[in-house]
Each structure stands twice: as C-alpha cells, then as structure tokens.
Amino acid sequence: MSEQILNLTLQVWRQKDAQDKGRFETYQANNISTEMSFLEMLDVVNEDLIHKGLEPITMDHDCREGICGTCGMVINGRPHGPRERTTTCQLHMRSFKDGDTITIEPFRARAFPVIKDLMVDRSAFERIIAAGGYISAPTGSAQDANALPIPKTCADLAMDAAACIGCGACVAACPNASAMLFLSAKVSQLGLLPQGQPERLTRVRDMIAQLDAEHFGTCTNFAECEAVCPKSVKLEHIARMNRDFFKSGILHRPPHTSAGGV
C-alpha cells in the first residue's frame, strides 16, 4: 500500500491534573503520513504546538513496541483505537481516512485518576501485583526446559496469560471499570505452573482484596475487556480465578465457635 498524506481534525481531552474539570480542545493534524504510528502523529502535533508557544499534549509512552503497556488512550471511543490486538503505539495512521475527526481521551476509571491530559495513574496495578503476584517459594537455579513435567495445555495457558502487558484497556472498556481480566491473567500465569502451587489460594485471596481496596468495579461478564485486549487474554482466566477464590474461602474459613461465643 503506497504512502498517502492525511489532514485530520483532533478532538483531544486536556486536563491539567486530577482536580481540574477538563475539556476537549480541537487541533489540526496536517500532512500526516499513513506510515506514521498514532503516537508519531501526536509527536508532530506536539512539535507544532511547541513551535507556536503552546502547551504540548501530555501522553504516556515508553517502548513503542507494544510491550510496556503505557501508551493506552481511548481513540474514537475504543481503548487503543479501532484495530483488534493492537496497542496505541502499534496503530498506524492508515487506519484512518483523509478528513477524519478523531476523538482522543484518557482511560476513564476511578482507580485511574488523570495525571495530566491523556496520562493516567495506573499504580493501582502495581499495588495489586505487590499484594501477591509473585512466587516466594525457593525454586533453586534454572532447570532444563523439560525437567518439570508440565502438561502442554497448562504451559500454553500460562503463556497466554503472561502475555498481559497491564495496559488497563480492559478497565477502560468495562462499563463497571473492572480489572478482573488483568488480575486473572496475573493469577493464571503463576497458578497454572508447579512453582506457583504453594501460594495459589493465598495469592488469589490477597490480590482480590487489594483489587477491592483500589475501588475497581465488579465483573458482570460484559466481555468488553476481552474484545479490546491487545494481547487477546481470554475470559476463561476470570473463571479459573473465581474457582480458586471460592476454594480459598472454603479452606481458610474461620473455625466455628460454640453457642456461648467462646
């Protein structure tokens, strides 16, 4: 496909901090190559704003290779934009047409307060991981790949879950602002492997407790999370996590007391 030049109108959310009310502002993005990524297009717009002595648009980005998960923004009402299995940094401008109007917003969730413009604070995810998203059992030095008899089905599911980059698109897409897809991926990638078994039930209990403390919404199976996940993490991980959570409640139930309350 040959390179084309686009002239676009951008409706961009501007907000100086979490306390600011915020508003949309209109910008023109002219002479944009269809070979540019979405972030490169915003770079061009920011260079023009700086040249005019105006405040550039604040946005999150790091690797620009679809790995780090920091580039999340809502583009025309969809986290990461119109293409499936694509992060914002991997979205190319050939997905749009000359003359298009593009609306760009930050992720909207109580647990993701706006830092500035399109950048939100996703440190709640880090606190959830710190609550139990690790293996503390000593496993010794690295072993040969075939030393542990792990069924291929389990290994494949664990790798699929580990693909989650923690971008938060699932939260932004969910009408409840639930983070269950993110959490279940982090639980599954450890709980499906032998090394993760000793802490499997305490892990899910502790991480869900932290999830609730961060004020994410509950999961009611809208499935919007799976639809927008750039790494195609599946809803089945949520079902697996729920089963482990119920087991943890049974195994860690407080002992019965006598009628006298002793």
Pairing of strands 74-75, 101-105: antiparallel
Please state which of the ranges 81-90, 106-115, 131-140 shows the lowest mean pLDDT. 131-140
The domains found in the chain, sorted by start residue, are 5-116 (3.10.20.30), 122-251 (1.10.1060.10)
Average pLDDT over residues 219-240: 96
Indicate the pLDDT class of residue 138, thresholds 50, 70 and 90.
confident
User: Is the pLDDT confidence value at 142 over 90?
Assistant: no
Average pLDDT over residues 194-218: 94
Dihedral angle computed from the Cα positions of residues 79, 82, 87 and 92, in that order, rounded to the nearest 10 degrees: -140
Average pLDDT over residues 113-125: 97
Q: Is 142 exposed, middle or buried (0-12, 13-18, 19+ CB in 10 A)?
A: exposed
- Mean pLDDT for the chain overall: 92
Task: State how far the Cα of 96 lies from the Cα of 120, in Å rounded to an integer.
Answer: 25
Helix 180-191, helix 152-162: angle, nearest 10:
140
pLDDT confidence of residue 126: 97
* Beta-carbon contacts of residue 213 (< 8 Å; ≥ 6 apart): none
pTM for the predicted model, two decimal places: 0.90
Task: State how far the Cα of 121 lies from the Cα of 116, in Å rounded to an integer.
Answer: 9
Q: How far is CA 59 from CA 38, 84, 87, in A?
A: 12, 21, 14
